[in-house]
Amino acid sequence: MDIKSVILAAGKGTRMKSDTPKVLHEIYGKTLLGYVLDNVKNITNENFVIVGHHAEEVEEFVKKNYDNAKTVLQSPQLGTGHAVSMVCPYLENYDGLVLILCGDTPLITEETLKKFVEYHNSVKSDLTVMSTLFDDPTNYGRIIREADNTLKCIVEEKDATPEQKAVKEVNAGIYCLNWGKIKSAFSQLTSNNAQGEYYLTDIIEWGKKNNLNVNAYILEDNKEIYGINSRVNLAQATRYLTDRVLNNLMVNGVTIVDPASTWISADTEIGQDTIIYPSTYIEGKNKIGQKCKIGPCAHLRGGVTVDDNVKIGNFVEVKKAHIKSNTNVGHLSYIGDSELGEHVNIGAGTITANYDPISKTKSQTVLKDNVKIGSNTVLVAPVTVEEGANVGAGTVVTKPVPAWSLALTRSPLKIFEEWVSKKLN
């Protein structure tokens, strides 16, 4: 099925009070817009991101990260209907489906979008609006249905009668259009309203006047369309997403000792019988195997692969590293841009010095199988410690260490007898 998407990302985001475009704010190291694009990538074959405020930054993000998306400038910003009309020149001869989404709703899922499209097709709809139910629908546009349950119109709160305000079904802001039948609506919208803008919701009235099949699909979990307009919203969305992720992990056999203090990204896979201890924060994209122990107070920063039966201790930070099975990383350590073999033991306080601030390059540390690293060791990358080698506590490793050898850079211990007694006298 040929499906394209239009993602609205031109808004200013005034309430964020930020120099960063709203859609480029992040949850677990991924932008809000990134969540939306990732959730449509397996459904659509082309995506259009409507940009406006801070257009250059959003364009750069899309170009750098998404091959199947292009940006379209909306200038000036004259409303949501006007925003979608910006893609009309690109879709002049297109006759498939178009999904319209907002770039600030990162909680919508791929599964929901697939169900939405399936519903649209099953009822032979020309235009379908996603809706949801709220006990308190204040400030949302109300979904008003015909006697046959098709969509009649969307009424904004300020225009609603008392009877309409009592309706709990509201507009979720996501649309599925048969583009060939709906595209001419965007050249016929008017701005006869208080804001002088072209509203996307007006295409419903247009569809009804043109005898098209117009419907509304009810989304079960209203949290999925939670929109982000402020830092408070950003924090709440993070909490919603985290609760969803942790629940799924626990259902699938992962022990989360304290869900209230544990934060794990949706892009992290964790195998069963792994235990995540309190105050652990895992962001970015990671894969953790079975029967591992992570934390407490561990931080995985993304790009991390952890094989089975690995222990990552408390106050350990890991990023862009592969840690193979049966390896232990002791507390208070930093492992970055590294590959650790099987049955490796990392003593407490060990760090991989992977960044050169002069050349601004990062280099890799490789520890082969059965390597033992003593506490408070610094591994200055690029460096390789070959199989079975031991590194003594307090060592600074600056060159390759041969297999089954001992590496040690430790000054001789000097003891000055009676030194303290003499100082006290």
- Is residue 195 domain-resident? yes
Mean pLDDT for the chain overall: 95
Over residues 216-231, the pLDDT tens digits come to 999 999 999 999 999 9
| Residue 178 and residue 98 share a domain | yes
Mark whether 178 and 268 lie in a shared domain: no
Which residues are within 8 A (CB) of 190 and not within 5 positions of it... i.e. 6 or more apart? 198, 202
Domain assignment of residue 415, yes or no: no
pLDDT at 327 over 90: yes
Decide if 331 is catalytic: yes
**What is the distance between the alpha carbons of residues 279 and 257, in angstroms, rounded to a whole number?**
10
Taking alpha carbons only, the member of 276, 284, 286, 207 closest to residue 246 is 276
Name the region of 240 (left: φ>0; alpha: ψ -120 to 50; beta: rest): alpha
Report the alpha-carbon distance of residue 406 to residue 417 in Å, rounded. 31
Co-location of 215 and 277 in the same domain = no
Q: What is the pLDDT of residue 410?
A: 86
Domain membership of residue 288 as a residue range? 252-407
How confident is the model over 110-132, as a mean pLDDT? 97
pLDDT band at residue 10 under the 50/70/90 scheme: very high
pLDDT band at residue 159 using 50, 70 and 90 as cut-offs: confident
Q: How confident is the model at residue 157 (pLDDT cuts 50, 70, 90)?
A: confident
Q: What is the mean pLDDT of residues 169-193?
A: 93
Q: How confident is the model at residue 59 (pLDDT cuts 50, 70, 90)?
A: very high
Q: Residue 74 domain-assigned? A: yes
User: According to the model, what pLDDT value does residue 192 have?
Assistant: 77
Of 225, 260, 291, the last residue of a domain is 225
Please tell me the predicted confidence (pLDDT) of residue 110: 97
For residues 200 and 295, membership in a common domain is answered with: no
231, part of any domain: no
Is the pLDDT at 252 greater than 90? The verdict is yes
| pLDDT higher than 90, residue 60 | yes
Q: How far is CA 402 from the centre of its chain?
A: 42
pLDDT for the residue 229: 93
pTM, entire model:
0.92
Looking at the structure, tell me whether residues 43 and 152 fall in a common domain: yes
Structure tokens of 49? 């991101």
Distance from C-alpha of 200 to C-alpha of 100, rounded to nearest angstrom: 10
Tell me: do 212 and 85 sit in the same domain: yes
Where does a domain end: 210, 225, 240?
A: 225
**Residue 315: φ, ψ to 5°:** 60, 40
Mean pLDDT of all residues in 69-80 = 93
- Residue 313, Cβ density class (10 Å: 0-12 exposed, 13-18 middle, ≥19 buried): buried
Rounded to an integer, the average pLDDT of 393-407 is 97
Query: pLDDT confidence of 191, banded at 50, 70, 90?
Result: confident
Residues 22 and 138 in one domain: yes
Residues 204 and 348 in one domain: no
Residue 254 clears pLDDT 80, i.e. is over it = yes
Beta bridge partners of 73: 51
Encode pLDDT of 268-310 as tens digits: 999 999 999 999 999 999 999 999 999 999 999 999 999 999 9
* 3-state secondary structure (DSSP) of residue 58: helix
Per-residue pLDDT tens over the stretch 350-387: 999 999 999 999 999 999 999 999 999 999 999 999 99
Pair 192, 319 in one domain: no
- 386 Cβ contact partners less than 8 Å away, ≥ 6 residues apart: 368, 371, 400, 401, 402, 403, 404, 405
Q: What is the pLDDT of residue 18?
A: 94
Q: Would you say residue 154 has pLDDT above 80?
A: yes
pLDDT of 83 higher than 90: yes
Instruction: Reply yes or no: is the peptide bond before residue 382 cis, omega within 30 of 0.
Output: yes
What's the number of domains the chain is made of?
2
pLDDT at 193: 74
Reduced to 3 states (helix: H, G, I; strand: E, B; else coil), residue 276 is strand
Active-site option among 25, 53, 120, 331: 331
Q: What is the CATH number of the domain that holds 342?
A: 2.160.10.10
Do residues 257 and 161 share a domain? no
Q: Are residues 10 and 114 in the same domain?
A: yes
Whether 305 and 186 share a structural domain? no
Domain at 184, CATH number: 3.90.550.10
Q: What is the pLDDT of residue 232?
A: 97
- Residue recorded with tokens 């260490």: 401
